[in-house]
């Protein structure tokens, strides 16, 4: 046998030995309530197999997990009542841009940590309160000065939200009644027609007077500046102080009456209009609190304001 043949035989033998040694062996591992085939390498050290590696071979999951995104408060309540237990909890987030309420169905039971078993807290449901189109429109331009054309366009688009008749006193909140009275009573409340009229064709003439007053005895002086606005006929300009709107905070929710203070300013570029919603934050808080109280009552679960850990 020549050297070349001998070397080829040795290479083949070594290759067969290596391949046989490195060949994976299929073993069946059992753990966490399931069995699954695993490839085991000869000579490999200890291997930690996570419980999740058995998930594809289970007849059912180890525990409930996941977050259901519900589209109505009714659905959140129904979902919570279906899966709740004595440890479940509600969490409310009053972020005015993205309010929501979440149920954590497998939350930790009440009691001391050493005497109660902690839970994963991974089975959840969430409902994001959808802000109404009306609320988003009025809050977007709140306190934003607009030129006459832009203000007229906005008023005409949202004119259906403006109250035509002044509600009876018992239909208004006590704070709103006091505010209207402090501003001058019902006479200063603009109707939808008046708003459109103002936004479309108001002409303002401004007359300014500067007076200088000097006290001859002491030499002290004062400069008084006064500015008066009049309409196109020269009559004193009377612009309503406020108007009332009725809009829902959340989509398909109840209507809330809000007062909007009407403001204007004459500039070199023309007349600027804007409105200032009075206590819109309190209206939002009231609507959100009502939703939270309903969820708390109908699920019979404790509610916290915040986010779960």
Q: What integer pLDDT is reported at residue 165 of this predicted model?
A: 67
- Number of Cβ within 10 Å of residue 262's Cβ equals 20
Assess whether 139 and 182 both reside in one domain.
yes
Domain assignment present for 285: no
Domain assignment present for 221: no
Domain C-terminal end among 14, 36, 57:
57
List the structure tokens of 212: 């200088």
Assess whether 91 and 192 both reside in one domain.
no
Assess whether 117 and 157 both reside in one domain.
no
Contacts with 110 (C-beta within 8 Å, 6 or more apart), sequence order? 87, 116
- Number of Cβ within 10 Å of residue 161's Cβ equals 21
Q: What integer pLDDT is reported at residue 210 of this predicted model?
A: 43
pTM (2 d.p.): 0.72
Is residue 211 within 8 Å of 188, Cβ to Cβ? Answer: no
Q: What integer pLDDT is reported at residue 198 of this predicted model?
A: 76
Assess whether 83 and 53 both reside in one domain.
no
Assess whether 52 and 83 both reside in one domain.
no
Assess whether 144 and 15 both reside in one domain.
no
Assess whether 272 and 137 both reside in one domain.
yes
d(CA 121, CA 308): 9
Is residue 159 within 8 Å of 192, Cβ to Cβ? Answer: yes
Q: What integer pLDDT is reported at residue 154 of this predicted model?
A: 92
Nearest 5°: CA angle at 7, between 6 and 10?
A: 90
Task: Look up the domain containing 253 and give its range.
Answer: 133-210+237-278
Assess whether 48 and 70 both reside in one domain.
no
Domain assignment present for 109: yes
Assess whether 85 and 192 both reside in one domain.
no
Domain with residue 115: its CATH number is: 3.30.720
**Domain total of the chain:** 3
Phi, psi torsion values for 127, nearest 5 degrees: -125, 120
Of the candidates 112, 101, 110, the residue with the CA atom closest to the CA atom of residue 75: 101
Domain assignment present for 284: no
Q: What integer pLDDT is reported at residue 241 of this predicted model?
A: 81
Would you give the DSSP letter of residue 218?
T
The list of the chain residues with pLDDT below 50 reads: 1, 204-211, 213-214, 216, 219, 221-232
Q: What integer pLDDT is reported at residue 176 of this predicted model?
A: 78
Domain assignment present for 283: no
Domain C-terminal end among 38, 57, 76:
57
């Amino acid at each position: 046998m020549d050297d070349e043949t001998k070397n080829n035989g040795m290479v083949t033998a070594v290759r067969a030995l290596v391949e046989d040694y490195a060949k994976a062996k299929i073993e069946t591992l059992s753990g966490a309530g399931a069995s699954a085939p695993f490839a085991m390498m000869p000579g490999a050290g200890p291997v930690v197999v996570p419980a999740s590696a058995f998930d594809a071979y289970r007849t059912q999951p180890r525990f409930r997990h996941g977050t259901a995104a519900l589209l109505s408060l009714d659905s959140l309540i129904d979902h919570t009542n279906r899966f709740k237990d004595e440890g479940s909890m509600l969490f409310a987030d009053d972020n005015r841009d993205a309010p929501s309420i979440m149920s954590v169905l497998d939350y930790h039971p009440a009691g001391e940590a050493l005497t109660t078993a902690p839970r994963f807290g991974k089975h959840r449901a969430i409902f994001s309160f959808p802000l109404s189109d009306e609320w988003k429109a009025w809050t977007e331009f709140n306190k934003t000065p607009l030129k006459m054309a832009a203000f007229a366009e906005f008023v005409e688009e949202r004119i259906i939200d403006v109250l035509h008749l002044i509600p009876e006193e018992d239909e208004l909140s006590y704070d709103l009644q006091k505010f209207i009275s402090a501003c001058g009573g019902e006479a200063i409340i603009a109707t939808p027609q008046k708003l459109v009229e103002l936004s479309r064709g108001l002409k303002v003439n401004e007359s300014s007077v500067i007076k200088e007053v000097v006290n001859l005895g002491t030499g002290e002086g004062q400069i008084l500046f006064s500015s008066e606005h009049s309409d196109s006929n020269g009559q004193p300009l009377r612009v309503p102080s406020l108007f009332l709107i009725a809009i829902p905070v959340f989509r398909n929710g109840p209507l809330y009456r809000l007062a909007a203070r009407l403001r204007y300013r004459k500039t070199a570029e023309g007349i600027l209009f804007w409105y200032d919603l009075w206590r819109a934050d309190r209206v939002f808080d009231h609507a959100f609190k009502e939703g939270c109280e309903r969820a708390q009552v109908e699920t019979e679960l404790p509610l916290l304001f915040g986010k779960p850990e």
